[in-house]
C-alpha cells in the first residue's frame, strides 16, 4: 500500500457547544474514491472544511499528502481541488475566464481551460458569461474548476446534487477519470446509487461519528440479507417466494422453482447502502 493521500486521526471540531465532528479517523489512498455518506448535520461538510484548510481541527491529526493541514503549507493548497456544494462562481465572467483566474492563483500560465471545459461538455459555452448557464452547466463548471490544477486530492461536496440523470452520469464519469489518473477523491453525497457506483469504500457518518467504513460490497454482505425473490405464475394470479441463499436447501428450492416452468422473474434481494445506513443509525440519509 502506498502512502495515504488523506490521513485523518481522531479529529474533532465544535461550533461553540455543538460538537460537529467527534473524533473520526480514516485514510484515502491515491486513486481511491471514498464516499462520505450521512444526513445533513452529520459532519461531512465540517470535515471537508477542516481538510481543505478553511477551519482548523480542535484536536487530532489531519494530513494531506503527508503534510499536516494545520501548518497552512501553500504546497498542500496547490495540490488539492475542491468542488463546493454552493455554486460559488463569478457570474459576470465567462467559463473560460473563471478557470483562467483560478489557474493564475495556482501559478498556471496556460491552463488549457477550454480543454477542461470540453471534458465537462462546456467547450462551446466557454466564452459565455456564467450567469447565462443553467444549473447543470454551473455544476459542471464547478467540477471543471476543481480539476484546473490537476489535483492529487479532490474534495467533492455533493457534486451531482439536484442534477438530471444525464448530467449526473457525465459528472460521475469525469470523477472516475480523475481517480483513474491517480487522484484521491473524498466524495460527500446523499445519493446511494452514486456512492455505490463511484466509491471504492464508503464511510457512514452520523452525528459526527463514523459508524461504518468499508467497501460497499462488504457492507452489503455484512449487513444485508442474501436471498432471491422468485415470482411464479399461480393459476390466474402471481405468487412470490423468497429463498435465503445461505440455507442448506436453497439450491434445491431454486432448482424446483425453475423446473416448474412457472417462473416469471428471479431477483437477488441485495440490501442498499441506505438500508444498511438506516439499520445502523436508525435514521435515513435524506434527513
Residues that bind other proteins (CB under 8 A): 52-54, 72, 74-75, 77-80, 82, 84, 86, 88-93, 97, 101-102, 104-108, 129, 145, 149-150, 152
| Nearest approach, Cβ of residue 8 and other proteins (Å) | 17
Smallest separation (angstroms) from other proteins to the CB of 82? 5
Q: Which is nearer to other proteins, 75 or 217 (CB)?
A: 75
- Report the DSSP pairing between strands 263-268 and 227-234: antiparallel
If the CB atoms of residues 24 and 89 are measured against other proteins, the closer one turns out to be: 89
User: 177 or 249: whose CB is closer to other proteins?
Assistant: 177
Cβ 64 vs Cβ 51: under 8 Å: yes
Q: How far is the CB of 187 from other proteins (least distance, A)?
A: 16
Torsion of CA 159, 163, 164, 169, to 10 degrees: 0
Closest CA to 148 of 198, 86, 97: 97
Minimum CB–partner distance for residue 92 and other proteins (Å): 4
Q: Residue 129 in 3-state DSSP?
A: strand
**DSSP codes of every residue in 21-68:** EEEEEEEE-TT-EEEEE--TTSSHHHHHHHHTTSS--SEEEEEETTEE
Which residue's CB is nearer to other proteins, number 108 or number 271? 108
* CA-based max dimension of the chain: 74
Q: Which residue's CB is nearer to other proteins, number 178 or number 196?
A: 178
Amino acid at each position: 500500500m502506498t502512502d495515504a493521500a488523506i490521513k485523518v486521526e481522531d479529529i474533532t471540531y465544535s461550533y461553540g457547544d455543538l460538537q460537529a465532528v467527534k473524533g473520526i479517523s480514516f485514510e484515502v489512498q491515491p486513486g481511491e474514491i471514498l464516499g462520505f455518506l450521512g444526513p445533513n448535520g452529520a459532519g461531512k461538510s465540517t470535515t471537508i472544511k477542516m481538510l481543505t484548510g478553511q477551519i482548523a481541527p480542535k484536536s487530532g491529526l489531519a494530513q494531506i499528502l503527508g503534510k499536516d493541514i494545520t501548518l497552512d503549507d501553500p504546497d498542500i493548497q496547490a495540490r488539492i481541488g475542491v468542488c463546493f456544494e454552493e455554486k460559488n462562481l463569478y457570474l459576470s465572467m465567462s467559463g473560460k475566464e473563471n478557470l483562467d483566474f483560478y489557474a493564475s492563483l495556482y501559478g498556471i500560465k496556460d491552463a488549457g481551460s477550454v480543454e477542461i471545459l470540453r471534458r465537462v461538455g462546456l467547450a462551446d459555452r466557454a466564452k459565455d458569461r456564467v450567469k447565462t448557464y443553467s444549473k447543470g452547466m454551473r455544476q459542471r463548471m464547478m467540477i471543471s474548476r476543481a480539476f484546473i490544477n490537476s489535483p492529487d486530492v479532490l474534495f467533492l461536496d455533493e457534486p451531482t446534487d439536484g442534477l438530471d440523470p444525464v448530467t449526473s452520469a457525465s459528472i460521475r464519469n469525469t470523477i472516475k477519470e480523475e481517480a483513474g489518473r491517480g487522484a484521491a477523491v473524498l466524495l460527500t453525497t446523499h445519493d446511494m446509487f452514486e456512492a455505490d457506483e463511484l466509491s471504492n469504500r464508503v464511510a457512514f457518518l452520523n452525528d459526527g461519528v463514523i459508524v461504518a467504513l468499508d467497501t460497499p460490497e462488504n457492507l452489503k454482505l455484512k449487513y444485508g440479507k442474501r436471498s432471491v425473490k422468485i415470482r411464479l405464475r399461480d393459476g390466474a394470479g402471481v405468487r412470490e417466494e423468497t429463498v435465503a441463499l445461505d440455507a442448506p436447501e436453497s439450491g434445491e428450492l431454486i432448482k424446483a422453482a425453475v423446473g416448474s416452468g412457472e417462473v416469471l422473474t428471479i431477483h437477488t434481494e441485495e440490501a442498499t447502502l441506505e438500508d444498511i445506513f438506516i439499520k445502523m443509525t436508525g435514521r435515513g440519509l435524506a434527513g
